[in-house]
A = this chain, B = another copy of it.
Amino acid sequence: MILAGFGAFGSVVGRFLVANGVETTVLDTDSDHVELMRRLGIKTFYGDASREELLRSAGAEEAKVLIVSPATLDATLAVIRTARKHFPHLRILARAKTRVDAYDVLEAGADRVYRTSFDTSLRTGVDAMRDLGFGAYQAHRAAQWFRRYDENAWRELAGIRSDDAHYESRARESVRLLEKLLRAEFHTVRESDEAAWTTDSLRRDAGGEKQ
């Protein structure tokens, strides 16, 4: 397993995998991190993980999984493109900060994309529901459901995205996507019909706007 980027996100993934005995090689551009990891005996390389030679030195030919979590979107996309091109067998898991960035990460060739704060947001929401008096089972079910719903919604909106994405700023695209999601979700809450809580309402809503 190769882990590119050992910041707040990557370091938790790395600690978790090392703790479970997974052989891990770290690539990072923070010299304090590199020095620390080496002192502890973790195989670590300093440098730009989008360089083919560095990935090769890190064992990209034998590795099965590459986790990509540098600090910036540009660095993330560069690593994915190099890895996809030169080491096509690698399973690439990458993180993205926002919903809009996540589209770019997927287009660059990642197999899976993780929005940095998504799961933590959901756990915060579950705890808030508990504090407001909902039962534990209900709150957890709601979160499971919402994760599936959001994943599907995000994929459907990717199709809609291509029409307008090149004509607007990222901030504007982000607000537009959020509006589509909220409108679809409101339909459902207003209809109070749990079965309607699917991406059908999203499709209907998006379709309606295009007519």
Chain B residue with Cβ nearest A188: B19
- For residue A182, CB closer than 8 A to chain B, the reply is yes
A129 CB to closest chain B CB, in angstroms?
A: 7
Q: A179, B36: Cβ atoms under 8 Å? A: yes
Q: A131, B20: Cβ atoms under 8 Å? A: no
- For residue A160, CB closer than 8 A to chain B, the reply is no
Q: B128, A123: Cβ atoms under 8 Å? A: no
Per DSSP, are chain A's interface residues mostly helix, strand or loop, or mixed? helix
Q: B115, A95: Cβ atoms under 8 Å? A: no
Q: A143, B183: Cβ atoms under 8 Å? A: no
- For residue A11, CB closer than 8 A to chain B, the reply is yes
Considering only residues 110-156 of chain A, those with a C-beta below 8 Å from chain B are: 112, 114-125, 127-129, 131-132, 134, 142-143, 146, 150
Q: A91, B131: Cβ atoms under 8 Å? A: yes
Q: How far is the CA of A54 from the CA of B18 in the complex (A)?
A: 46
Q: How far is the CA of A36 from the CA of B181 in the complex (A)?
A: 12
Q: B124, A114: Cβ atoms under 8 Å? A: yes
Count chain A residues whose beta carbon lies closer than 8 angstroms to a beta carbon of B: 67
- For residue A195, CB closer than 8 A to chain B, the reply is no
A160 CB to closest chain B CB, in angstroms?
A: 17
- For residue A64, CB closer than 8 A to chain B, the reply is yes
- For residue A79, CB closer than 8 A to chain B, the reply is no
Q: Mark A52-76, 1 if CB is under 8 A from B, else 0.
A: 0000000000001101000000000
Q: Mark A171-200, 1 if CB is under 8 A from B, else 0.
A: 110010011011101101100000001000
Give residues in A with beta carbon < 8 Å to B. Answer: 1, 8-13, 15-22, 32-33, 36-37, 40-42, 64-65, 67, 91, 93, 95, 97-99, 112, 114-125, 127-129, 131-132, 134, 142-143, 146, 150, 171-172, 175, 178-179, 181-183, 185-186, 188-189, 197
Q: What 5 additional pairs, Cβ within 8 angstroms, besides A15-B182, A65-B132, A114-B123? A: A8-B97, A11-B178, A22-B129, A65-B131, A91-B131
